[in-house]
Amino acid sequence: MTSTLFDLTGKVALITGSSKGIGRAIAEEMARHGARVVISSRKADICEEVTRAINAEMPDGPGGAVSIPANISRKEELARLVEATKRQLGAIDILVCNAAVNPFYGPMSELPDSAFDKILDVNIKSNHWLTQMVVPDMKARRDGAIIIVSSVGGVRGSSDLGAYCISKAADVQLARNLAVELGPFNIRANAISPGLVRTDFARALWENPEILERRTAGDPLRRIGEPHEIAGAAVFLASRAGSFTTGQNLIIDGGSTIT
């Protein structure tokens, strides 16, 4: 007997920041489970490259990918992204807000207003805009899944990543608010908070072996995470397996926050 708990066949998934790292891994796994996925980031050539790779892997399967580049900091580009997705694939069943920025490393006392504004706009406001754009169709169908990729930074204090951590804490609360507001329409909203994962975004913390060893020495698993280890949680939350899960923050960090 084959289980269909994680089957996403027939679903349309829009995933921001999906040309690399965790976003790409989520897109790949959702496509492998039958979803049609939208690969989106600012750079069109990289989006096309990832789209070709996904489609080459599953030429005869139900899942596949299309490329629709967009800059999520611009509301008009997000509107175009949503409309292009609906035109090419149909209404959006799954929204994964993964793209994020961190243009400043240092104490809050030295944080420029421009950097703070950019972090809040890209990491919080763009997710709010996107949910506003996709929710009407989800309400009409009385079905949908919204996943916001947050961070363990959202549950910890930081002396160097304060603004980024504030934005990620807000993303978790955004998921909770959406869960309460949209639950009566059978729309689920959850957050995923990865720990240290081998992505370009966190390269400064892992490409130096000594820094990586110090960073993971106190973690129960004693190692860095890989993007595909986050992707499985997104598939769970988007599928029938996660149909009774909403308003939650799933921390995937090798145990770092428990020690």
CA angle 180, 33, 38 (to 5 degrees): 70
**Catalytic sites, residue numbers:** 164
> What is the pLDDT, as a whole number, of residue 218?
87
Please state which of the four CATH numbers 3.40.605.10, 3.20.20.210, 3.40.50.720, 3.30.70.270 is assigned to the domain occupying 12-251.
Answer: 3.40.50.720
Distance CA 44, CA 71 (A): 11
Q: Are 188 and 242 in contact (CB under 8 A)?
A: yes
Alpha helices, DSSP H, located in the chain: 21-32, 44-57, 75-88, 113-120, 126-141, 162-182, 203-206, 209-216, 228-238
> What is the pLDDT, as a whole number, of residue 2?
62
From first to last of the 259 residues of the chain, give the pLDDT tens digit.
Answer: 567 999 999 999 999 999 999 999 999 999 999 999 999 999 999 999 999 999 999 888 888 999 999 999 999 999 999 999 999 999 999 999 999 999 998 999 999 999 999 999 999 999 999 999 999 999 999 999 999 999 999 999 988 889 999 999 999 999 999 999 999 999 999 999 999 898 877 667 667 888 778 888 889 999 989 999 999 999 999 999 999 999 999 999 999 999 9
> What is the pLDDT, as a whole number, of residue 1?
57
Report the candidate in 100, 62, 92 with the shortest Cα–Cα distance to residue 192.
Answer: 100
